[in-house]
Structure 1
Amino acid sequence: MTRILDAAVLGAGIAGSSIAKALADKGWDTLLLDRQSFPRHKVCGEFLSPESQSTLHALGIADSIAGLGHCEVERVRIIFEKGSEMELPLPGHAWGLSRYTLDSALHLAALDAGAKLQTGVTVTDVQKVNRGYLIHTKRGSDISVMEARTVIAAWGASQRSGLPGYRRPASIKSSYIGVKSHFRGIAMEPVIELYFFRGGYLGLCPIEGGLVNASALLAREAAVDAGKTILAIISGVAKRNARLHERLRFAEPVLGTQAAVAPVFLNRKPLAWDGLPLLGDAATMIPPLCGDGMSMALRSAALCAPLADRFLREELSLADWQQSFTGSINREFKRPLRWGSLLQWLFGSPMLSNWLPNAARLAPSLAQELVHATRLKPFGS
């Protein structure tokens, strides 16, 4: 008789790896699947906000992540196209840590807990059956079918038609492109620098090993006009902000760390369940100016894990799991998403951005409250 898994987690990023580890800790036979190969570089701000600390503790991974050599970040500095700037303190110490290092550590934590990991495997279909789900996968020319009592989707923002969580984009023209690269030779304070310019913005965040992560979110036209390679795009858009251009002038790109993602759709409403529980970016695309995407991915896993455990113990029905998880996601994410979208709009408007630094100096407490409104509350509060 074919062995039936307790849980299959589809997507081995932050949210997927974390919930796989949490379920394996409870003794459940858990499989973690991803269509990508690891370790890999991914477009990401590579910034774990102060609010993530309580979630890391709840998931039992705080100590292992704390030992990865992160850089501590205390402030956010925003530099506009015409040179004006504003600086805001963070409500605690954030961590600059690459996804290459973080994903590897989370995979190891999941494996140490007893979960199994398969990468380079594409899920082509998920079917509901009496005892759970049939998961159809493909690796090269090999096609397989496995069965699990429950399936959790943590496959990021990928819009794959035919699979749960797919939402047809309203318009490809309204999408963005994300690019990233690591650099050497940039002296950084314990601060994230956000540079705005026509068509988008680019953030510099210090990470482990003395490197700096440069990640940009760009309107499609801005990226196309800037260059044909990732480094050419970064160099091209940097010229639109004189201070950023000077900052990167003598920086040395770390070859092999470049990555891109497209299309990126902002302001998607949260969708916590679509036949399956959806975690991380599969549930919603966080406005990047929230600066909290990694923390929100962790939080979605922490909210879902105890419900999945209760379902597997037959203490909770599937309908009750769906209702509880959907309610939790809406309560925790609604406020940060709403205010993050407002912040995205304010900083992206050339007319408004001209007076924002003066407004922040005149009313610093109001500016700080606006930033705090985009943050998650400590887990369990």
Structure 2
Amino acid sequence: MGRLRDVAVLGAGVAGSSVAKALADKGWETVLIDRQTFPRHKVCGEFLSPESQRMLHALGLQETVASLQPSLIERARLFFGQERPLEIPLPGIALGVSRYALDLALHRAAQKSGVHVQTAATATSVYPDGEGYVIETRQGKESQIYHARAVIAAWGANRRSGLPGHRRKGAARNRYVGVKSHFAGVAPEPVVELYFFPGGYLGVSPIEGGLVNVAALLARNAFSHAEKTILGMIEAAVRRNPKLGQKLAFAVPVPGTQAAVAPIDFHRKPVVWDSLPHAGDAALLIPPLCGDGMSMALRSAQLCGSLADSYLRGEISLSRWEHEYARSIRREFKGPLRWGRFLQWLVGVPVMPRLLPAIGRLAPEWAFRLVQATRLKESDL
């Protein structure tokens, strides 16, 4: 039997890297495994909401993120067709930073804390054995086996065959595709903008280096005739909103920054625990228009890491970890998830693009409260 580590974290995104670092900081021997190579571009709004700042501080990551020189974002601007945009102040300063830079910085911070980071290695199976679990990985033609007392699944929304939590996919409703690209040539503002149009929406957010991140969520059936390239789909979306066309009139795509992901299914139920504890998108997926995805990934890492620490210390049983973690996730995420899905549905109702801007201007407090309902609350942090 190989060396028994304390924790193996499968998936090295925001949630996985953060929980691995948090556990290493507490003295636990931790390995972080991901099938991807890094740095890499990923479909993401690349927006760290104001709610994430306290979590970054608690996880010891505030200086790491600040070193990337992120853009500072003060408000949101929503465009519905030709209507005058609806402006909503943010409850604090948000940060715009690319996942290309952020993920690599989180890995380095985890390594500095003592985490063994193994990327480009696919976990092919996980099963209980004796004192803990066996994790089998493959890297090219090489195989490796890890033994760990605890395993945390942070492998994203799309579970893979052979691993706990995998479900055979059926015909889901309203499947979406996500696309993104960085652009130069767009005047930076301390604003995240959302443009709505038939079949989806697109966000424009400033990131580091004077660039903007353009990320869109598109209904597959509404863009079936668009050019089947990432930039082709973004161009098709731009044509559906004149204001967006004006915004990106002189934008130049940055080569190599394009990424896509499909399918995206917002109707799947949260999976907080399925043989293993789940964190980040593996646990639950909030619609990206809420702009709080990375904040929720950080929060789930906090919650899971704290209970994992108690389990490894022998203070709680595995079943108690499962019970407390599921209870915490339900308590803190149930409201934001419900309101986020409601907002996602609301903007898809045909009459709403004409009504929402007028309602928002007549009752700005209502618009602000609706957005806040999709966020983690300060009392929860």
* TM-score, with structure 1 as normaliser: 0.97
Identity %: 59
Cα separation, 1, equivalents of 2:82 and 2:42: 30
Give 1:347 deviation, angstroms. 1.3
C-alpha change, 1:78 and 1:210, in structure 2 (3 Å) is same
Cα separation, 2, equivalents of 1:336 and 1:268: 15
Q: Is 1:232–2:207 an aligned residue pair?
A: no
Conserved? CA contact 1:165–1:278, under 8 Å = no
1:196-222 deviations in Å (ceiling 9; x for gaps): 111111100000000000000001123
Conserved? CA contact 2:188–2:211, under 8 Å = no
Q: Is 1:333–2:330 an aligned residue pair?
A: no
Equivalent in the alignment of 2:113? 113
**1:341-380 paired onto structure 2 within 5 Å:** 341-378=341-378
**3-state DSSP class of the match of 2:95?**
strand
**3-state DSSP class of the match of 1:270?**
coil
Equivalent in the alignment of 1:285? 285
Equivalent in the alignment of 2:61? 61
Conserved? CA contact 2:48–2:95, under 8 Å = yes
**1:198-347 paired onto structure 2 within 5 Å:** 198-347=198-347
C-alpha change, 1:280 and 1:326, in structure 2 (3 Å) is same
Gap runs ≥5 in structure 2: none
Give 1:8 deviation, angstroms. 0.4
Q: Alpha carbon RMSD of aligned pairs, Å? A: 1.3
**3-state DSSP class of the match of 1:213?**
strand
- The residue type equivalent to 1:123 in the other structure is A
Conserved? CA contact 1:270–1:329, under 8 Å = no
Cα separation, 2, equivalents of 1:321 and 1:179: 36
**1:62-101 paired onto structure 2 within 5 Å:** 62-101=62-101
Cα separation, 1, equivalents of 2:339 and 2:380: 21
Conserved? CA contact 1:299–1:379, under 8 Å = no
User: How many residues are treated as equivalent by the alignment?
Assistant: 381
Conserved? CA contact 1:270–1:330, under 8 Å = no
1:22-68 deviations in Å (ceiling 9; x for gaps): 11111111000000000000000000000001111111111221221
- The residue type equivalent to 1:116 in the other structure is H
Conserved? CA contact 2:83–2:357, under 8 Å = no
Cα separation, 1, equivalents of 2:4 and 2:78: 51
**3-state DSSP class of the match of 1:27?**
coil
Give 1:319 deviation, angstroms. 0.3
Conserved? CA contact 1:165–1:283, under 8 Å = no
Cα separation, 2, equivalents of 1:330 and 1:168: 25
* TM-score, with structure 2 as normaliser: 0.97
Cα separation, 1, equivalents of 2:362 and 2:188: 27
**1:45-194 paired onto structure 2 within 5 Å:** 45-172=45-172, 174-194=174-194
1:269-290 deviations in Å (ceiling 9; x for gaps): 3221101000000001111122
Cα separation, 2, equivalents of 1:173 and 1:347: 17
Cα separation, 2, equivalents of 1:51 and 1:169: 34
**3-state DSSP class of the match of 1:110?**
helix
Cα separation, 2, equivalents of 1:380 and 1:246: 40
- The residue type equivalent to 1:186 in the other structure is V
**3-state DSSP class of the match of 1:44?**
coil
- The residue type equivalent to 2:81 in the other structure is E
1:331-364 deviations in Å (ceiling 9; x for gaps): 1110001111111111122212211111111111
- The residue type equivalent to 2:297 in the other structure is A
- The residue type equivalent to 1:36 in the other structure is Q
1:132-163 deviations in Å (ceiling 9; x for gaps): 00111111122222211110000001232332
Equivalent in the alignment of 1:30? 30
- The residue type equivalent to 1:62 in the other structure is Q
1:167-186 deviations in Å (ceiling 9; x for gaps): 44442453100000000010
Q: In terms of mean alpha carbon deviation, does 166-175 or 113-122 score higher?
A: 166-175
**3-state DSSP class of the match of 1:12?**
coil
**3-state DSSP class of the match of 1:174?**
coil
Moved over 4 A (4+): none
Give 1:298 deviation, angstroms. 0.5
Cα separation, 1, equivalents of 2:232 and 2:26: 48
**3-state DSSP class of the match of 1:354?**
helix
C-alpha change, 1:281 and 1:379, in structure 2 (3 Å) is farther
Gap runs ≥5 in structure 1: none
- The residue type equivalent to 2:325 in the other structure is F
Cα separation, 2, equivalents of 1:176 and 1:75: 27
Cα separation, 2, equivalents of 1:370 and 1:46: 22
Conserved? CA contact 2:332–2:380, under 8 Å = no
Give 1:379 deviation, angstroms. 6.7
Conserved? CA contact 1:267–1:286, under 8 Å = no
Conserved? CA contact 1:55–1:378, under 8 Å = no
Cα separation, 2, equivalents of 1:144 and 1:116: 14
Conserved? CA contact 1:14–1:294, under 8 Å = yes
